[in-house]
Chains A and B, each alone.
Chain A
């Protein structure tokens, strides 16, 4: 068991403190009795109550979740297709352009993507609302999905697909029955990534949403511009809690699976 040098331990401790203390402070002050967020006046959960009754926030949350689910699902399908084309497609006309279009949104500033999409929707006369946000989110999410799935496909053992063909599958059956089940974890992480990006997006949603459709980030931003508010702290705490539970669960499930698989392989080797 290797000991870590004190330098490394200190870097990690300071680093993680830097990452987590702000969020911790946020959580603690959500239970602050006083409206002045930064003056502690006693423990209270009243802000959570106020949050639950805030119609505007609740409906924005609903819209946000709807948009996130729809856009991430479509993005996963399109992104997986794009990944398959990039990794297995070989040479085809316009491949450089295609690969450029897939990777560029990853690093493009959101203001530019948002602006360009809004101008498109206006140009074709499409009313801004839930549909336009979904279209916008699907477009940039599919690029992230494509990156995740293609990195899995690159290491995928092609002889498994050949075996499927050899045993009588058509190419699409081979994909459905063999490739997809095996790359499923990557596809699922792609979906989760797309979902999170959509849930969290402020800039692009601001450009592409309409009067009827406000997303939670937009609501939070307009509230926050006026200053800190304990209700926002409460909302933030809830969101942090959900993400934490999600990440912890995924981690634990993953770990259990790995441990079980290792144990089974060891047993098989002994037989």
Chain B
């Protein structure tokens, strides 16, 4: 029994809730966003991922209405947002610093937006209590922000931003201030709440693990442009550039020259003294075109003896082992000087491992294990 897959971006009939159309944003000489066009669909949990200064926060602030595009337009539910000030938009934002009003109680903080709408008192009361239940803050309603802990403040910020049932919720690095354990728990809570309320979430983060965990689609940004937007698995398995491949997770990048040798098949010549690699790729490369092979460490198998029948085999010496408890990452140095990372689960205890530092090992991977990239 298969549940329907949530993929509105693949549906030609679906209209996006948010549409950026050729949006450029400049601050003086500095271009923060460069001719950006993207559509975000309803009920998505959309992540904007990238390093500091890539423009992701600027995009979010333009959605909220705190910045206006220098060129281009932004549409929310088909309406041009240019003339609409932040207090009149159907979006709400959860601030990185939480921005809780220190002079109001938790209850009043959450009720703040509802009062501005002119909601009737009993309705406000119901809605606030609903939010308190949703974020498990019932006991703290009459406290002030400085009287509760950091994790609780984060939940208040979330409750306050959801209280008005906005069409779009913007989350600005919401989990940055939390410690790792709390962060993981909160990530799943966020996903739960998003599904339950059916709100469209747009989250800005520099933490790629976070983006991969919560998002339905991830947009990897750099220097004001979106380099790739796809589901987490596609971003990971089929990055469209070395930048994306390198940004997400660990990766081996092998530079070489491609020579077509069959249907969707290439022979990649890389370092002197090494045999060319066999790669299958759906993208087209011309004869002699320089290319990069991106292959994830967990796709590289490591053996004490040379395996037979593998598409690609290389020999090397273990330079370093990073022991991570459940996994080990082996840094293997090849005769040509290149270092390839191979990762495998620690199915056996260390003392019973087949190889250790300085050992000669064999690395192998299939022709389809990696992605061949042009840049």
Contacts and interface: CB of A to CB of B under 8 A. Distances in A.
A and B touching (C-beta < 8 Å)? Answer: yes
Interface of A: 157, 159-160, 162-170, 173, 177-178, 181-182, 261, 264-265, 267-269, 271
Contacts of B95: 159, 162-163
Given A162-B64, A167-B160, 11 more contacts: A157-B97, A162-B93, A165-B87, A168-B87, A168-B113, A177-B112, A182-B103, A264-B144, A265-B147, A267-B147, A271-B149
A255 B298 CA distance: 60
B164 A160 contact: no
A164 B102 CA distance: 12
Given A159-B95, A159-B97, A173-B116, A166 B149 contact: no
A164 B108 CA distance: 13
Given A264-B146, A265-B146, A268-B146, A166 B97 contact: no
B203 to A, nearest CB: 16
Given A167-B116, A170-B87, A271 B102 contact: no
A160 B146 contact: no
Contacts of A178: 101
Contact of A165 (B86, B102, B146, B147): B86
Nearest to A262: B146
Interface string B97-115: 1010111000000001100
Interface string B28-56: 00000000000000000000000000000
Interface of B: 64-66, 85-88, 91-93, 95-97, 99, 101-103, 112-113, 116-117, 143-144, 146-149, 160-161, 164
A77 B258 CA distance: 74
Nearest to B102: A182
A223 to B, nearest CB: 47
Given A160-B99, A182-B103, A166 B87 contact: yes
Contacts of A170: 87
B148 A181 contact: no
B148 A157 contact: no
Nearest to B172: A159
A182 B164 CA distance: 24
Nearest to B61: A162
Which residue, of A166, A181, A269, has the highest number of chain B Cβ atoms within 10 A?
A166
A242 to B, nearest CB: 30
Contact of B164 (A168, A177, A265): A168
A168 B143 CA distance: 23
30 contacts: A157-B97, A159-B99, A162-B95, A163-B93, A163-B99, A163-B101, A164-B112, A165-B65, A165-B66, A165-B85, A165-B86, A166-B64, A166-B65, A166-B86, A166-B87, A166-B93, A167-B113, A167-B164, A168-B87, A168-B88, A170-B87, A181-B103, A182-B102, A265-B146, A265-B147, A268-B143, A268-B146, A268-B147, A268-B148, A271-B148
